[in-house]
Amino acid sequence: MFTGIVEELGEIVAAEESSDAARLTIRGPVVVSDAKHGDSIAVNGVCLTVVDVVDGNAFTTDVMGETLNRSSIGGLGVGARVNLERAAAVDSRLGGHIVQGHVDGTGTVLSRSPQDKWEVVRVSLPDRLARYVVEKGSITVDGISLTVSGLGAEPGQGDWFEVSLIPTTQELTTLGASPVGTVVNLEVDIIAKYVERLQQRGGDATQQ
Q: Are 65 and 28 in contact (CB under 8 A)?
A: no
- Predicted pLDDT of residue 205: 52
Could you tell me if 61 and 117 lie in one domain?
no
Please determine, for residue 164, whether its predicted confidence score (pLDDT) is greater than 80: yes
- Do 114 and 61 share a domain, yes or no? no
3 domain residue, yes or no: no
Task: Check whether residue 71 and residue 136 sit in a common domain.
Answer: no
The pLDDT score that the predictor gives to residue 166 is 94
Distance CA 80, CA 40 (A): 20
- Asked if residue 142 belongs to a domain, the reply is yes
Q: Are 82 and 110 members of one domain? A: no
Residues 45 and 60: beta-carbon distance below 8 Å: no
Same domain, 163 and 115: yes
Residue 197's pLDDT is: 86
Residue 157 belongs to a domain: yes
* Residue 29, in any domain of the structure: yes
pLDDT, one tens digit per residue, over 39-82 is 999 999 999 999 999 999 999 999 999 999 999 998 999 999 99
Same domain flag for 113 and 180: yes
Amino acid, res. 182: T
43 contacts 11 by C-beta, under 8 angstroms? no
For residue 82, tell me if it sits in a domain. yes
Whether 201 maps to a domain, the answer reads: no
Residue 189 near residue 3 (C-beta atoms within 8 A): no
pLDDT at 42: 97
User: What angle is formed at CA 16 by the lines to CA 15 and CA 19, rounded to 5 degrees?
Assistant: 130
Percentages of the chain per state (helix, strand, coil), in multiples of 5: 15, 45, 40
**In DSSP terms, which residues pair with 84 in a beta bridge?**
8, 43
Domain boundary, last residue among 23, 57, 86: 86
- Type and span of the H or E element at 191: helix 190-200
In the chain, the number of structural domains is 2
Domain endpoint, select from 56, 86, 116: 86
* CATH label of the domain that carries residue 32: 2.40.30.20
pLDDT band at 196 (very low <50, low <70, confident <90, very high): confident
| Domain's final residue, options 30, 59, 86 | 86
80-123 tens-digit pLDDT? 999 999 998 877 777 778 889 999 999 999 999 998 889 999 99
DSSP string, 149-183: EEEEEETTTEEEEEEEE-HHHHHHSGGGGPPTT-E
**CA 144 – CA 126 distance, rounded (Å):** 18
* Residue 153, domain extent: 105-196
Give residue 204's pLDDT band: very low, low, confident or very high (50, 70, 90). low
**Residue 116 shares a structural domain with residue 191:** yes
CB-side exposure of 91: number of CA atoms within 13 Å?
0
CA separation for the pair 190, 107 (Å, rounded):
18
Check the CA dihedral 73-186-129-104 and report its sign: positive
Shared domain for 114 and 62, answered yes or no, is no
The dihedral sign for the CA sequence 160, 161, 166, 172:
negative
pLDDT category at 203 given cuts 50, 70, 90 is low
Q: Are both 82 and 142 inside the same structural domain? A: no
148-159 pLDDT tens trace? 999 999 887 799
